[in-house]
Structure 1
Amino acid sequence: MMDKIEIEKLLKKITHETENLPPGMIARAKIQGHSISVYRSNKVMIQGRDADNLAAELLGALPAEQQEPKQMTLAYDQYNCIGSDEAGSGDYFGPMTVVASYVSKQHAEILKLLGVMDSKNLKDPKIVELAEQIIPLLPHSLLVLDNPKYNQQKARGWSQVKMKAVLHNQAIHNVLNKIDTKPDYIVIDQFAVQGVYENYALTPIPERARTRFETKGESKSIAIAASSIIARYAFIKQMDKIEQAAGLEIVKGAGAKVDLQAAKIIERRSLDYLDSVTKKDFKNRAKAINLVERKRS
């Protein structure tokens, strides 16, 4: 059972219909070959071949009866940890960047003194300042999924969750190959429950027994917070290149202002160019095309 706020968030993510519905149903949708039904009782039913994974992607968790037992959150900063996080997944423009970083107990104290925290709470100039201090300090792996590759994988049927799982797993592998000791824990900022992550990751989770998944992980592990900052830094730098090439300052995210900027790029350059620097599956694309067509008519 979901609450009204969660249902509102779900309906904003999907194209749905609200007319000519059976009694008690308030919305229904078809997505990725699945049927989604939302009821007045706040019940959501997802039916289809891969319903559990779609539920995890849309809702952030599996149905309650299928969830894995909750783990107690540890004081990760007292241990040597690898943490991983990503940036750009909610932005129409720009790539997706994924970073895993190794932070020893000693380095954890240094990062705290520098003011490392969740990048979502920091302005871009502070992100750049911190990232340029910690990048030389930490063994890390940065993977950048550019827009053409993102769009190619989407066309193959990959969800964002699958892309993230593959990239996080690879980044963690890369960091393990860079360090001479095994970490006490590997902490992943949770974007899917472990079973879904493992299903999508293509390769086994390295050091599975040491791996933990944490929601709002940036506030629980400074290794995740550091990776969050480096990932955001890489995203900012990629966005700077896009802005320079487009000759236009671009707002991050996926709001109405982004639609207007996308429409300007179609007019100044072309739709193909827009597609080369954006994630084509976002609704902003259709909205931008509509804005251009309305202006021309």
Structure 2
Amino acid sequence: MSQTHVIKVTKDKMNQMRVSYEKNRLNKNIPYTDFIAKVGTTTITAYTSGKVVFQGPDAERIAAKWGISTSSKSSKSSSTSKKNNTNTLPANFSQLSVLGSDEVGNGSYFGPVTVCAAYVDKDMVAKLKALGVRDSKELTDPQIINLSTVIKEIIPYKLLIVEPEKYNQIQPKYNAVHMKVALHNQAIYLLLNELAPIKPDAILIDQFTPEANFKKYVKSEKNQVTEKLYFITKGEQYHVAVAAASIISRAAFLEELDKESAELGIKVPSGAGSTADKIAAKVLEKGGMELLSKYTKLHFANTEKAKQLLKK
């Protein structure tokens, strides 16, 4: 039976794992991941939060090499857990008036982090679906940009863009999860103020951290949103408001990448793979760390890799 084992590792241990699985890495660009590798029939997904998930028949043995498993479950129990999670949403949730939020760019070396909160009144749900608003991962980049333009004309939203230069100033004080909590909270707070006196039936956040963790970090924020909050992974499947927020966020991220490419005169990639290392080395050669800091998230491992490439 397929097993899932989860461990939490330090930055040093994560670096060791990244080197160890260099030859096993998969060329996948998944948000919030440091790397994804496959060893035999076991998939290893390392998240920027420090969590590492091992999935496959040999997961327990491979995970044991790196640390003590914090959770272990069969694929059957995993699906049960997901089912229970959806039961926390109110009945007929997809047809309610909902404020949804999502973010893009946290797992990409180049480009900003974009967070969007979008409000979809129950009377607009069918219209958005008819326009083709759905999970942004199912859409091409041109479709995303075109849809975003339309969506922004017909529903209220609040978009926050944290450029790399600003991100690098914040990052030493805020870890990746804390930063996302702060941005989601702020986008939701600002949109709620604009909507007043209208109040959504619910606020759905595309879940990137356990609810307790979100609430822990949000306590340090000046303007805390705490009522009617719901958290669920793949939130775009449960309400079109999250799908709309995802599309607006993704479009903004893509537009910022295009802007970076134009300014640098080099096509910059999304993600944090080997292509990003090579482009970063070119940016370093062009303007050193000062220039690189304006376009990338410096704490990513890509920075050191780019430096090494430049020495060769």
| TM-score under structure 2 length normalisation | 0.74
Q: 1:227 to 1:263 in 2, by over 3 A?
A: same
CA offset digits 1:162-199 (Å, max 9, x no partner)? 00000100111111111131111100000111111111
Q: 1:289 to 1:41 in 2, by over 3 A?
A: closer
Q: Give 1:269 deviation, angstroms.
A: 2.6
- What corresponds to 1:206 in structure 2? 225
CA offset digits 1:183-219 (Å, max 9, x no partner)? 11100000111111111122364252x1100111122
Q: 1:41 to 1:272 in 2, by over 3 A?
A: closer
Q: In the TM superposition, what are the counterparts of 1:109-258 in structure 2 within 5 Å?
A: 109-156=126-173, 158-179=174-195, 180-201=197-218, 202-203=220-221, 205-208=224-227, 210-258=228-276
Q: In the TM superposition, what are the counterparts of 1:7-18 in structure 2 within 5 Å?
A: 14-16=14-16
1:281 equivalent in alignment to 2:302: no
- What corresponds to 2:45 in structure 1? none
Work out the percentage of aligned pairs sharing the same amino acid: 37
Aligned partner letter, 2:235: G
Equivalent-residue separation in structure 2 for 1:280 and 1:150 (angstroms): 9
- What corresponds to 1:61 in structure 2? none
Q: Give 1:242 deviation, angstroms.
A: 0.6
Residue pair 2:114, 2:250 contacting (<8 A) in 1 also? yes
SS in structure 1 at match of 2:215: helix
Aligned partner letter, 2:257: M
Q: 1:121 to 1:8 in 2, by over 3 A?
A: farther
Aligned partner letter, 1:171: A
Aligned partner letter, 1:172: I
Residue pair 2:5, 2:63 contacting (<8 A) in 1 also? no
CA offset digits 1:82-133 (Å, max 9, x no partner)? 0000011111001101000100111111110010111122221111100000
Which sections of structure 1, spanning at least 5 residues, go unmatched?
Answer: 20-30, 33-37, 47-54, 57-68
Aligned partner letter, 1:145: V
CA offset digits 1:36-87 (Å, max 9, x no partner)? xx973846448xxxxxxxx89xxxxxxxxxxxx8451454321000000001
Q: 1:136 to 1:12 in 2, by over 3 A?
A: farther
- What corresponds to 1:76 in structure 2? 93
SS in structure 2 at match of 1:269: helix
| TM-score under structure 1 length normalisation | 0.77
Match of 1:264 among 276, 282, 298: 282
Q: What is the RMSD of the two structures over their aligned residues, measured on CA atoms? A: 3.2
CA offset digits 1:16-53 (Å, max 9, x no partner)? 3799xxxxxxxxxxx99xxxxx973846448xxxxxxx
